[in-house]
Amino acid sequence: MSIVMIDKLTKIYGHGETAITALREISLHIEPGELVAVMGPSGCGKSTLLHLIGGLDRPTSGRVLLDGQDLAALDDNHLTEIRRRKVGFVFQFFNLIPVLTALENAALPLMLDGIKPAEAKQRAQEWLERVGLVDRLEHRPDQLSGGQQQRVAMARALSTEPALILADEPTGNLDSRAGDEIANLLRQISDQWEQTILMVTHDPRIAAYADRIVFLKDGTIVDEAHLSGDVSRSTAGVMERMEGL
């Protein structure tokens, strides 16, 4: 069964003459363990799509089924629970709590879920070790580089072992080297731990790490590409398709 099933999803912001259609009857399936990238020009609805799948926002019409559950049917409390247990978010600006350490940030979703602090930290530490931050556990965000902060954010997203990781421009605030490292890490997460990942990016080089790329334009899916795994070759192909949009 698909982890994500989207059926005729529409999102309109505002009313009347000022209404803006961000997504127009989109349908999409994402399979377990898949790393999917969403690409498209600015304002094409990439982030809106991500927010709707993550239960951060509600669609105007259509359905989102996440791990078999229809998000539209859930009230705020249940939606919150879904976000806590089934979704891991990675944001462009990291969004770490500035007053908590790396370990505490990574353990936060577990603690919010009522897991005892010692156990939560133990599990968070394992994920921080996996993303290569074993020596930065007690550092606060302002003591870490951008790349390191994003790794903490990824450990935080992984700590609950969610059904889906949503990454919104995860490399958008990093230099190219740190960006590559994060993209590699996403690939590794997908390959080694079979995590399903949906990533929004406008960078063809980062998108080339994905298994599949969905191209959006004016709120509709205009193209899809399945990639071979060769990043350099794929990048060139992606760039070509982007130019064609």
Partner 1 sequence: MNTQLTLALRYLRGHKTRTILTTLSIVLGVMLLFGMNGMLPAIKESFSQGVKTSISLDELTVTRLANGIFGQEQVALVRNVPGVVAATGSLSRKVILPTDMAPQDQRGQLITNLTLTGLDLDSFGEINPLSLLAGRSLQPGDRAVALINQSLAENSGLGIGDHLTLPTADGVTRLEIVGIVAGFGALSGGEPLYLPLDLAQQVLNLPAQINVIEAMVAPSEDMAIVGQRVLESLGSGYQLGAVETGSEIQAVLELGDFIFSMFGIVALVMSGFIIFITFRTVVMERRRDVGMLRALGASRRTVTGIFLFESLLQGVIGTFLGLIAGYLFISWMLAVLEPMWRERLGLSLGGAQFSLGIFILSITLGVGISVLAGLYPAVVAGRMTPMDALRPAISVERKGSTRRRAIWGIVMIAASILCLLSRNVGLASLGVILFIAGLMVLLPLLVRPVTRLIGGLLTLAFAREGNIAQGNLVRQPERAAITASVIAISLAVVLGVTGLLTTLTYGVFSYMDKSLGADFLFIPSSFALGSGNVAAGPGLISAIRQVPGVEAATTLRSSFARFGETDVMVIGVDPQTYPQVSGLEFSRGDEQLAYQAMAQGNVVLANGMLATQGKLELGDDIELLTPAGMRTYTLQGIGNDYMNSKIMTLYVSQDLLAKDFFETGDVLLMLNLADNADPVTVRADLDRLEAEYPGFTLYAAQEWKDRMVQDARTRMSITYLLVAVLALPSLIGLANTLGINVLERTREIGILRAVGATRRQVQRIIMAESLLLAAIGIAFGILAGLWLGYVMTASMALVGYDLAYFFPWSGILLAVAVGLLIAVLAALHPARQASKLQIITALQYE
Residue 151 binding partner 1, by CB under 8 A: no
CB of 134 to partner 1, least distance (A): 23
Q: Please give the Cα distance from 147 to 179 (Å, whole number).
A: 7
**Part of the chain binding partner 1 (CB under 8 A), chosen from 15-23, 101-109, 197-205, 223-231:** 101-109
Which run of H or of E encompasses 52?
helix 46-53
Cα–Cα–Cα angle for 212, 218, 221, rounded to 5 degrees: 30
Task: Establish if 123 lies at the interface with partner 1 (CB under 8 A).
Answer: no
Say if strands 20-30 and 4-13 run parallel, antiparallel, or are unpaired: antiparallel
Q: Which stretch binds partner 1 (CB under 8 A): 66-74, 78-86, 178-186, 231-239?
A: 78-86
Verify binding: residue 99, partner 1, rule CB under 8 A. yes
Q: How far apart are CA 56 and CA 85, in angstroms?
A: 14
Q: Phi and psi dihedrals of 24, rounded to 5?
A: -130, 100
109 binds partner 1 (CB under 8 A): yes
Pull the structure tokens for residue 240.
């070509």
Among the listed residues 229, 175, 238, 185, the one whose alpha carbon sits nearest the alpha carbon of residue 40: 238
* Of the residues 77, 177, 226, 243, which one makes contact with partner 1 according to CB under 8 A: 77
SS3 224: strand
Considering only residues 47 through 66, tell me which ones interact with partner 1, judged by CB under 8 A. Answer: 51, 54, 56-57
Residues contacting partner 1: total by CB under 8 A: 31
The residue among 89 and 215 lying less far from partner 1, judged by its C-beta, is: 89
Q: Under the rule (CB under 8 A), what is the footprint of partner 1?
A: 51, 54, 56-57, 76-77, 80-85, 87, 89, 91, 93, 95-100, 104, 108-109, 111-113, 117, 156, 173
